[in-house]
Amino acid sequence: MYKIIKIFLISTLSLVFILSCGIYLALNLSLPRLSGELLSAHISKDITLERDRLGTAVITGQSRKDVTYGLGFAHGQDRFFQMDLLRRNAAGELSEIFGEKALPLDKNRRFHQFRKRAEGIVASLPITEKMMLQTYANGVNDALAEQHLDSFEYLATGTKPKPWVPADSLLVIYSMYLDLQGRTPTRDMVLTQIEQLHGQEMLAFIIQNSSYQAALDGSLLPTKSGAIPRLSPSSLLAAKMTDIEEPLDIGSNNWAVTGELTQSGKGMLSDDMHLSLAAPIIWYRAQLNYINTLGNKREKVQVTGVSLPGAPAIVVGTNGLLAWGFTNAYIDTADWVALTPADKILTEVETIVLPDSNIEYTIELSRFGPVKWVNEQAYGLSWVAHRDYAVDMELMALETADSVEQGLTLATRFGIPVQNIMLVDSDGNAGWTPAGAVPSRTNPSNTAQKANRFQINAWMEDEAVLPQVYNPESQRLWSANSRVMSSQAATRFGDGGYALGARAQQIRDRLFESTSFTEASFLKLQLDNEARFLSSWHQYLIRLLATQPTRFAKDIQLLRDWQKCACADSVGYTLVRGFRTQLIDTVFAPLETELNEIELSLSVVKRYLEPAIWQIITEQPESWLPEQYSSWDEFIISSYQASVTGLLAKHSEAGELEDLQWGKVNQLEIKHPFSRQIPLLSRFLDMPKVAGYGDSFMPAVQRGSFGASQRFIIQPGLEEQAVMMVPGGQSGHPLSDYYRSGFDDYAKQKSTALLPSEILHKITIKAGN
């Protein structure tokens, strides 16, 4: 028997070894070639593609068209699977790879018919833009053709990569619309249903203006609170306690100062776009070097920054004269229209492809847009992403702009989800404006409109006149997803889900603490995790627990030692943060329960609830107090206990408060999509775990898998001093030297240079057949 077991074990281990060697060999064969010479019929002159220690793609050629091919080739080598997911996400085509489990998401995406829209827009683009997209696609596809073996993701799913086509690049931009504006229609529908269920008074209570405001002109929206609406006994009785998800789509910062506040006299820009984080990271470091020809004038262009794999533009970067960065603008770009029996509803059928079958999916359409039924009422959605002006390649024009004034003019033409663009130039100027697609309609609404109020013609036009600020008297500019424009302009352009302005206020106030700035001081502000916003919650919780000092002695001591920051070793911060979240979830459970019954949630408006929850704490309305509690203090202390119990269950095996350090509770985990489904792959595919640093209401935004997707600091003309930190590597291949390159600097909050370092690899692509 022993001999049989021994033979079995040896055989099994041998098979495992052979299988492991086979997998390792296959993975190595799927690595792209990084050095050598190639031929391509898709370029007019030879180009080079070089890579430094981080894998930064340094592409040099004689024309923008040729380096576009080179960028497509680099993206195709390093990131094709991620590009494939982005186009499939927007088009609703993930089921073809992942099967039936992706069907709900695909149906959600098919509602917007983005594949059809992208193909239509490509057909109508100017010939130069159309050719640029085709050239980029040629580069991507030539990189695929060079592969000896498909990347591991296709081997694992048993699928084959499909060639890239020009419409796919527009689908990548549509994927950003879904990420950056996808909650705006949901927000408006939630507010519509709150009004339907509880009336205008409740709607006004939920979305009342916060005192956290930081507009560039200092204007304020009114913050006077009305009466708290009564909550019906039936709503209170039926309430079920559930976590109201805290949306992670809020969190980007940028700011700028003019040359008046720098030693060099050049403007300086900081930009950190906050997104959901996964491996590989969304951005791709690149430098493009080419000749720009205008008539008889030939100028060398060098543009350095990060690109979005799937599209041929440098999204955030510098050309030595001008630098630019973005935050999501959150102005209102969507309206629902309540349909009547007189409104005609048509249907279209789309085919969703599965690995071994197809299904037909029916979409209802109105003259306002696709139709959604909620609580037995039909609504048509008009969203700027559905308009022909929503996507284009105009962003690329920034590469050859030489001043803030020129950049502000160009920004009105961009076909991207509307952003706060911040620009600085080497002459010391700074400016801000909303950049992207904005409908010309003048009556944005938080709730569904009647058809007779819908400005259908204005929706067909992109707004050409947008607010802007150029060289402000204060010499400082800032944005952080909250309202930036004046209160008057805000009425005109509406609210599409603004962030609470606490983060913007903290940035603004920090900028006014100094009269001279450097790259180091800007990075310090990006990493500012002082808990200014939670200070009032901290004080309130200590006062509340002090009413029972013996019972909560340990809690009170930890709260007093909280360090006033979202610091890794702070337990007190965790207690305050958890208490606030739990209390909001508990108090608003009656509304959340009702919305859940029609498949909606307060999640998309949770950021608005800060003034409402404080009004309830202060006034303690009887109709909002659950009947099992005799007083509001009892109820609120119970919420605190529930918060602590939940945190301990999740983060402490021993049930000790000391285990609730914020760095552990808010640990940064950047995972690969495959490891989320197969945890055994985590050690091979994920970035190392890092103790949490920062939170949602401060400049240093960081949650478990959400945070700064890049950190960029630049004075145009001083690129050698510039910073570009990215939380992950260039390559999507886990065996590549570039899979985790750059992550260590990011995790240690160590500056990473923007400019490429010593070149380690070089591909020469020669023009020819």
Residues acting as catalytic residues:
252
CB burial string 503-535: b at 16+ within 10 A, e below: bbbbbbebbeeeeebbbebbbebbbbbbbbbbe
Cα-to-chain-centroid distance, residue 99: 26
Residues with Cβ within 8 Å of residue 212, at least 6 apart in sequence: 482, 500, 501, 502, 504, 505, 533, 610
Q: Say if residue 161 is preceded by a cis peptide, omega within 30 of 0.
A: no
**In 589-732, which residue ranges form alpha helices assigned H by DSSP?**
589-596, 610-619, 632-651, 662-665, 673-677, 682-685
Sign of the dihedral defined by the CA atoms of residues 449, 361, 125, 766, in that order: positive
Of 756, 727, 257, 751, residue with least CA distance to 471: 257
Task: For residue 392, say whether it is annotated as part of any ligand binding site.
Answer: no
Length reported for the chain? 769
Cα-flanking dihedrals φ and ψ of residue 334, to 5°?
Answer: -150, 145
10 Å CB burial of residue 254 (0-12, 13-18, 19+) is buried
Of 387, 396, 389, 385, residue with least CA distance to 132: 396
Tell me how many helices (H) and strands (E) the chain has: 26, 25
**In 473-552, which residue ranges form alpha helices assigned H by DSSP?**
487-493, 502-511, 519-526, 535-545
| Interior angle at CA 87, CA 82 and CA 93, nearest 5 | 110
> How many angstroms separate the Cα of 706 from the Cα of each of 252, 281, 604, 694, 700?
11, 11, 17, 11, 11
Helix (H, G, I), strand (E, B) or coil at 512: coil
| Interior angle at CA 167, CA 165 and CA 169, nearest 5 | 85
What's the CA gap between 705 and 281, in Å, rounded? 11
What's the CA gap between 599 and 447, in Å, rounded? 17
What's the CA gap between 681 and 734, in Å, rounded? 11
- The residue whose two tokens read 């070894």 is 17
Task: For residue 332, say whether it is annotated as part of any ligand binding site.
Answer: yes
What's the CA gap between 174 and 416, in Å, rounded? 8
What's the CA gap between 572 and 585, in Å, rounded? 20
Query: Which residues line the annotated binding site?
Result: 332, 335
Query: Which residues line the annotated binding site for Ca(2+)?
Result: 332, 335
